[in-house]
Structure 1
């Protein structure tokens, strides 16, 4: 055959053609499997993966993203990021509308960013995003690949930690203010008592009574501040919370709008807790009064109890409670409810949504402090238009037996004492000397520890009773008592404190101090304390 007429390919060419075809199929199959593995990885990854174009339109939304945000692929593709999974503004007020454009124009600043997102149901969530800018062959931005991780729980924990730190700082400030304020009230009420003792004019006596009443109301406010600061006066004993709740409900039924129905569901089989009955009743009453204010047109206020076991250390709001058996008291109302920004601040002192003159904003702050003092926890749930619910957790007692109170011993009035007063407040020293001496006692006063120690060393045999201030510069009441006790192991002393019976005072009571009296106190209260100690044989009769 003439050259060029042969239609068969050379043997090596015939062999090569099938080989090239086989390689192409192999490469295609490898690419297909690689793409399948990639798509499977992206679709089933436990991360939010989406792609959006230069205009913010979503072009890819993986399966996890669909489950997390609540949109199907058909519902979300082709829609703008803003208004679907990104709100126009965060709860803090930050405007998120320029965010997508800013990511495209400044990719280096947004390789990692955190922002608030929103699900289809309207729930606000927090997502940490890593963003990769997508470009064409010329390097122009055509979109962004975003991979997100849900950090909502972490964000809430951080917020609770910040709130706890803020509450602790506010508590320290409130405690300091209350202590100083108590010293001032002590002086005001003291001199009012002096005037009342000296005057025979009925008008002046009436005016001093008004001063004493106002001072008493001011002292009540500082007591609430001290309770919030966890430095309030409390005495723990076994108490039946069901009895307290019944008392509170009876009080509320007599005083609140009759259109509000007060209900009780006391199902706890073990209602006894180790607590201060007066403070617990005050806490329940405060919550009830706030619920009343949230139902101006009537509604339902419900108190319910149950027992609950907590098997590990648990954090509830900014409280940490230990494992054990707890009483759960739920107080709920059908009132107006609260927005989130109000709910977060309800336990802060002086925070109130009431009109001026209708509340000092200390009621729920005192509840917060009482809960801490009782080693419990409190949590509030509320939404606008859906009422509010408070869960109060209190550790129950292992032994619910009631302690029988010992019969009171007869008072021993009439005894005149030689008293040494040590207090850094001049007005307290001056009023104490004047008023005590008006009642027949002999009084010496000192502003600081050094001169008090010097005097006591030379004259302790002539001192029947030492009245010590707890908080003083240089050397506090605890340290001064220790010095004086070295001089005279038989020292008889009463501690006066604007902070009342806190843990430090309890230490001093264990060291041998006779008792503690909270400022501001009247002379009558001090005399009752002295009479009681005399009747018990702790002071000479």
Structure 2
């Protein structure tokens, strides 16, 4: 115990070596304490007094050291002290409350000192204030939580495009966990190829410090998504480019809705134009048809009749075509009643069985508890016929044609699936084929009047445009999903009727009253 109990030869005061040791200990910038086995304080240096906010050691010497320790840390400190008094070293972080009320985080390094007299150990503690470090760590954790709470994908890469940071928003958007992507090349991970747009974006951010624009990127599953991306250049203390911070917001659904809106506007313009043309063509065809009918009466010979009949048939065919165009341009209107979907589907299934090639297998799943639809049964029949005929033509070598109907409630979130969707109850009719499928370019145009991929003479290009007009007139909407060589799926959503008007379900003919 001579280290801190040394005295002069006559026992009257500290020795010179003790004074030197005290000066060395007091000059130490960390708190040094000697703690007895019973947990009371034996010695403390000047830095320790400052940390405890006392003027004299007399306030502390002989008192339990755990008096300044925050209660929730006292058990852990007691375990450490017990271990040290058994000859073991240890470290611990805990909080203290000084005598003037200042709360501090401290880190202690505990070392056992052997008492030569009885072989026991006392506790030498070297404590340093880590409050600022803890506050900085807490701030970093809070900032990290803010970044993770963000729905945006936030990532940082160095100037060599290696990923340094990847938040939880990026994990949710792209599907890769942080440990899977850190250190990898972001260009190889998120892009099919290096486009000129990416090169221009990199040059722009390096020259001006920022860039923003839209990018097509890949997820872990290989799905292509569209993001609105903002890049910010981060520099080091010397002003040299260090890394690039990217904040990416997915706008895939938004871009799809914009495309639907543009398509709707384009179809509306085409419809208006078609309406004007139809009127002019009707004015041309009407006198032709009248003239043909007059000539049929004046030219009775068989050769003339045959020629005139051919002419009449073609004029009528043209008139029917114009009628379809006009109905599309004006918007389909008709008498609406309460319609049961199940009988309609049964009729469609019968037509398929009787007229479609036997190589096409028809599967239906129509529940008996389907809700009702308020609409025109004839027009809805036309929609279904158009869809199944298109499915038949997409399977020239045969396949499976599946027709499914179900009750569906669309909520606030689901209403975003289509620009025309509204919250409410719907009947969804799904027509699926296993045919040749369609490219994304074709899908963008299938509802345009006169657009067709069929051979000349096998399609007018008005089937789907008319079907769409009918569906919209019934306040419904349609979604299409198709892949090349993997088939096509049309889903028609029709609002369910909110009530059952039973006398409209099976109208009876009124008896005609005579006059006697």
TM-score over 0.5 for the pair = yes
- Tell me: CA distance 1:36–1:315, structure 2 relative to 1, closer, same or farther (3 Å): closer
2: CA distance, partners of 1:173 / 1:403? 39
- Tell me: CA distance 1:109–1:227, structure 2 relative to 1, closer, same or farther (3 Å): farther
Say if 2:210 and 2:230, in contact at 8 Å, map to a contact too: no
Say if 2:365 and 2:404, in contact at 8 Å, map to a contact too: yes
Any residues of structure 2 matched to 1:284-295 within 5 Å, and which? 284-295=384-395
CA-CA distance at 1:279 after TM superposition: 2.6
Say if 2:449 and 2:461, in contact at 8 Å, map to a contact too: yes
| 1:403 aligned to which of 467, 486, 507 | 507
Match of 2:252 in 1: 152
Say if 1:48 and 1:62, in contact at 8 Å, map to a contact too: yes
CA-CA distance at 1:332 after TM superposition: 1.7
The alignment yields a C-alpha RMSD, in angstroms, of: 3.7
| 2:420 aligned to which of 303, 319, 324 | 319
Any residues of structure 2 matched to 1:47-126 within 5 Å, and which? 47-88=152-193, 96-99=197-200, 101-107=202-208, 110=211, 112-126=212-226
- Tell me: CA distance 1:318–1:167, structure 2 relative to 1, closer, same or farther (3 Å): farther
CA-CA distance at 1:31 after TM superposition: 3.2
Any residues of structure 2 matched to 1:51-450 within 5 Å, and which? 51-88=156-193, 96-99=197-200, 101-107=202-208, 110=211, 112-232=212-332, 234-270=334-370, 273-308=373-408, 314=415, 317-320=418-421, 323=424, 326-394=426-494, 395-396=496-497, 398-401=500-503, 402-406=506-510
Relative contact order, higher structure (CA 8 A, sep 6+): 1
Alpha-carbon displacement from aligned partner over 1:284-325 (angstroms, at most 9, x marks no partner)? 11111110122122111122333445678956634345745x
Instruction: Answer with 287-296 or 79-88: which moved more.
Output: 79-88
1: CA distance, partners of 2:339 / 2:27? 102
How many equivalent residue pairs?
A: 403
Unpaired runs of 5+ residues, structure 2, are: 1-18, 29-44, 52-125
**3-state SS of 1:319 partner:** coil
Say if 2:437 and 2:488, in contact at 8 Å, map to a contact too: yes
| 2:140 aligned to which of 35, 43, 47 | 35
Alpha-carbon displacement from aligned partner over 1:129-177 (angstroms, at most 9, x marks no partner)? 2221112344332321112223333333333322322222222223233
Say if 1:230 and 1:369, in contact at 8 Å, map to a contact too: no
1: CA distance, partners of 2:144 / 2:422? 46
CA-CA distance at 1:178 after TM superposition: 2.5
2: CA distance, partners of 1:341 / 1:42? 38
CA-CA distance at 1:376 after TM superposition: 2.6
- Tell me: CA distance 1:269–1:179, structure 2 relative to 1, closer, same or farther (3 Å): farther
**3-state SS of 1:284 partner:** helix
**3-state SS of 2:188 partner:** coil
CA-CA distance at 1:351 after TM superposition: 2.0
CA-CA distance at 1:63 after TM superposition: 2.6
CA-CA distance at 1:203 after TM superposition: 2.3
TM superposition score normalised by structure 1: 0.65
**3-state SS of 1:144 partner:** strand
- Tell me: CA distance 1:320–1:98, structure 2 relative to 1, closer, same or farther (3 Å): same
Say if 2:342 and 2:370, in contact at 8 Å, map to a contact too: no
- Tell me: CA distance 1:37–1:283, structure 2 relative to 1, closer, same or farther (3 Å): closer
Say if 2:333 and 2:473, in contact at 8 Å, map to a contact too: no
Say if 1:380 and 1:388, in contact at 8 Å, map to a contact too: yes
1: CA distance, partners of 2:203 / 2:433? 46
CA-CA distance at 1:359 after TM superposition: 1.8
TM superposition score normalised by structure 2: 0.67
Alpha-carbon displacement from aligned partner over 1:322-370 (angstroms, at most 9, x marks no partner)? 745x443222222233333322322111222223443222111111111
Unpaired runs of 5+ residues, structure 1, are: 1-5, 411-541
2: CA distance, partners of 1:310 / 1:357? 40
CA-CA distance at 1:16 after TM superposition: 7.5
Say if 1:330 and 1:390, in contact at 8 Å, map to a contact too: yes
Say if 1:330 and 1:391, in contact at 8 Å, map to a contact too: yes
- Tell me: CA distance 1:213–1:315, structure 2 relative to 1, closer, same or farther (3 Å): farther
Alpha-carbon displacement from aligned partner over 1:207-236 (angstroms, at most 9, x marks no partner)? 221111111211222222233334446343
Alpha-carbon displacement from aligned partner over 1:222-270 (angstroms, at most 9, x marks no partner)? 2222333344463434554433333333333333221101233332435
2: CA distance, partners of 1:309 / 1:11? 77
